[in-house]
């Protein structure tokens, strides 16, 4: 148990260092954006005096390293500042948008994770059969297509031609749960097609790898049914890679949904980030980027911890 705690502390420390490096990259990237922020926000009609006063208000007259330190310190204390576009607190903007992104990600995960595990187990059960080849070909196709392509195909079929679901995932705070679920069906289906393929193929590969073990052969010799072997013996012993790929895909569902949110005009954090970059709303861009980074790194850290707990061999590994 002591070795596990030491490994967790080491991974956590490495994650904190990664977050610090990413925050530095985000700040440098925002600084490298072309044009002057004050002139962009105030417009071409602003006088030089007004622009200079606004630059001082934004602390753009200070050296970059001082502004970076102040921004990082405020972020740690939960002070994200105010939006340059509308003057509203950034924390409030991010909070509602991030909640929408989480709702979309969790709704997709409730469909994709059980579906991927079941398909992976069936593909391993009927390995090298027509069913296995059909599932593998279909999942490879979904992996090969970009998300926006799948999204437009679903919109064309289910929204334009069949008129079953709305093409735009528009929601508001007053909308009920059923209305929210109905609005996000198409973006959720798009994400399900992508992440199910990754998780299903990893589940299939992990189970097939375990099926080559000696104790599986002994169970087969004893006459145990193959489905029972996979469900009760092979799958539990292949949890480590399956948990890892599920956690990584959960991170993708939360962080990598920018394209899907833009296609469906879904009011999530990814859509807010894209809009803020276009408006040069630097406080929102920096806060959104760092929130995405922290969530992604945290989920990868969780995947490492769960993999160590489910696989005794990894508990003895060294970083």
Three-state DSSP class for residue 291: helix
CB 170 within 8 Å of CB 185: no
Three-state DSSP class for residue 89: strand
CA 257 to mean position of chain CA atoms: 7
CB 181 within 8 Å of CB 107: yes
CB 11 within 8 Å of CB 299: no
> Where are the chain's structural domains?
90-315
Instruction: Give how far Cα 262 sits from Cα of 101, 187, 192, 193, Å.
Output: 12, 10, 17, 18
Burial 131-150 (b: 16+ CB within 10 A, else e): ebeebbeebeebeeeebeeb
Helices (H), the chain: 2-31, 37-42, 48-57, 64-76, 90-125, 130-144, 147-154, 177-183, 185-211, 214-221, 226-229, 239-255, 258-263, 269-279, 282-310, 312-315
Q: What is the C-alpha separation between 246 and 304, in angstroms, rounded?
A: 11
Give 10-residue mean pLDDT values along the chain (319 residues): 75 88 87 68 69 73 82 84 79 86 90 89 85 85 84 90 87 84 90 86 84 78 80 78 81 80 88 82 85 87 76 55
- Res 262: pLDDT: 87
Residue reference for tokens 């070795």: 3
- Res 165: pLDDT: 87
- Res 315: pLDDT: 55
CB 99 within 8 Å of CB 105: no
Backbone angles phi, psi at 291, to 5 degrees: -65, -45
- 90-315 is a CATH 1.10.3720.10 domain: yes
CB 248 within 8 Å of CB 302: no
Q: What is the C-alpha separation between 60 and 68, in angstroms, rounded?
A: 11
- Res 41: pLDDT: 66
Task: DSSP for 219-267, please give it.
Answer: HHHTT--HHHHIIIIITGGGHHHHHHHHHHHHHHHHHS-HHHHHHTT--
Residue reference for tokens 């002070």: 79
Single pTM value for the model: 0.80
Q: What is the C-alpha separation between 279 and 151, in angstroms, rounded?
A: 26
């Amino acid at each position: 148990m002591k070795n596990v705690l030491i490994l967790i502390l080491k991974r956590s420390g490495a994650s904190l260092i990664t977050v610090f490096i990413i925050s530095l990259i985000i700040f440098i990237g925002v600084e490298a954006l072309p044009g002057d922020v004050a002139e962009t926000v105030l417009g071409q009609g602003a006088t030089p005096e007004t622009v200079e006063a606004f630059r001082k208000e934004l602390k753009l007259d200070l050296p970059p390293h001082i502004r970076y330190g102040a921004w990082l310190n405020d972020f740690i204390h939960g002070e994200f500042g105010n939006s340059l576009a509308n003057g509203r607190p950034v924390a409030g903007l991010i909070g509602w948008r991030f909640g929408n992104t989480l709702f979309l990600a969790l709704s997709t995960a409730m469909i994709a994770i059980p579906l991927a595990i079941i398909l992976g187990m069936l593909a391993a059960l009927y390995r090298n059969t027509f069913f296995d080849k059909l599932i593998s070909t279909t999942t490879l196709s979904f992996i090969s297509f970009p998300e926006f392509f799948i999204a437009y195909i679903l919109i064309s079929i289910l929204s334009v031609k069949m008129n079953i679901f709305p093409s735009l995932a528009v929601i508001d705070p007053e909308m009920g749960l059923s209305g929210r679920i109905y609005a996000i069906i198409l973006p959720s289906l798009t994400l399900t097609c992508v992440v199910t393929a990754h998780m299903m193929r990893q589940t299939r590969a992990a189970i097939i790898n375990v099926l080559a073990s000696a104790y599986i052969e002994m169970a087969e010799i004893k006459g145990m049914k193959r489905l029972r072997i996979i469900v009760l013996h092979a799958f539990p012993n292949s949890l480590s890679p399956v948990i890892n790929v599920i956690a990584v895909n959960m991170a993708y569902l939360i962080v990598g949904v920018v394209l899907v949110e833009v296609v469906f005009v879904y009011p999530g954090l990814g859509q807010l980030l894209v809009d803020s970059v276009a408006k040069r709303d630097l406080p929102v861009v920096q806060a959104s980027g760092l929130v995405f980074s922290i969530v992604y790194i945290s989920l990868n850290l969780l995947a490492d911890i769960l993999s160590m707990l489910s696989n005794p061999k990894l508990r003895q590994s060294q970083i």
